Amino acid sequence: WQGSGLRRVLDAMIRLDLPTQVVRLGGWVVVTTVVTNVALLSVLGVRVELVGWTVRAGLVAAGLAVMWRPRALASAWKDRAIKRG
């Protein structure tokens, strides 16, 4: 457990502040959901047209961007909440 990759990922996530953790987790959920959906559709033999693949690619790109830059989105979200409040 001490040298595992999972521990390094979790340590990096735990060290973040709460809004940043929530944003990064949201990105991870989006990417995981899309990948799972693609795998299931492939196994079931369901045809997906260009629009479906484009939407999936956009969701994965957005999810990865949120995972790599969670502080930017979290701070923007926080600033927006302060302006509204």
Give 24-75 pLDDT, tens digit per residue: 888 989 999 999 999 999 999 998 898 899 999 999 999 998 888 888 877 8
Burial class (CB in 10 A: 0-12, 13-18, 19+), 52: middle
| Angstrom distance (rounded) from CA 58 to CA 70 | 17
Residue 1 has pLDDT above 60, yes or no: no
**Which pLDDT value is given to residue 6?**
77
Phi, psi (rounded to 5 degrees) for 17: -75, 165
Distance CA 85, CA 79 (A): 10
pLDDT number for residue 85? 65
Of residues 48 and 4, more confidence is placed in 48
Name the token pair of 73.
């989105």
pTM (global) more than 0.75: no
